[in-house]
Amino acid sequence: MDKSYELISKSSPWWYEDLAIENLSERKVVSLITNDVINPTQNSFEKVKEHFKELPILLIEQHTKEYIEQIENIDLDEDDLFSILNSTKLNNAQKNKFVNSFSEEIIIADNRNLPLISKIVLEDNSFVINESLKEKLLFFNGIQSNQRIRLFNKFNTLLSEERTVEFLGSLGRDYARITNKKRKALLEDISYNRQLLDVLSGNIISSYSKEKKGLRVYHKRH
């Protein structure tokens, strides 16, 4: 039966907005979406979302341009954002338009979203987010420390000195010791740590040097 339905869907020359999909199987609705039977409107999006929570992303992937044009009118939530960020069919420019249409409250409502945004931001310099969201990425413990350091290096003018001290403390371990003037912190000699100390030199710290065991931090004298 589903195979016959697939053939009928493929042969349909029409778009429909008000199809009664609530009694259809998920497989049949997937067929309607992928064969362009469902019209990409706000109403059809909400209808699919109401009855098949996993399928709105298929509509977005199938009709990205149309839904970007309607972005202010469609009801997207944190689960939709996760699906968008996780999509292998949407490019970063398209994902960026969706991300910037969400409120920060919705973005951070799902802990899976910030690590995905972090990954894209680090890989793609053209992916633009606002400063408030950048700061959320820096302080979100669900993102690996090495990624957060790389983000800090990328956004090195974002934080005040006070917030930078808080950021280093939030990383824990040897990074928290950077601001402890009773100790000379020692970091592993890897590229993102060298860049971090370059950013901090002359501001949070005086300087650093390379030793056999790693990178030794020197504090500023008062």
Q: What per-residue confidence (pLDDT) applies to 29? A: 87
CA pair distance 180, 184, nearest whole angstrom? 8
* Single-letter residue type at 100: N
Least confident of 9-18, 104-113, 208-217: 9-18
Q: What is the pLDDT averaged over residues 202-220? A: 92
- pLDDT exceeds 80 at position 83: yes
φ/ψ of residue 29, rounded to 5? -70, -40
- What DSSP assignment string belongs to 124-135? -TT----HHHHH
Q: 102: closest CA among 113, 92, 112?
A: 113
Q: What per-residue confidence (pLDDT) applies to 10? A: 52
User: Between these two residues, 4 and 213, which has the higher pLDDT value?
Assistant: 213
CB 137 within 8 A of CB 148: yes
Global confidence as pTM? 0.88
Q: What is the pLDDT averaged over residues 166-172? A: 95
CB 80 within 8 A of CB 52: no
User: Between these two residues, 141 and 12, which has the higher pLDDT value?
Assistant: 141
CB 31 within 8 A of CB 5: yes
In whole numbers, what is the pLDDT of the chain averaged over residues? 90
φ/ψ of residue 209, rounded to 5? -140, 160
Q: What per-residue confidence (pLDDT) applies to 129? A: 97
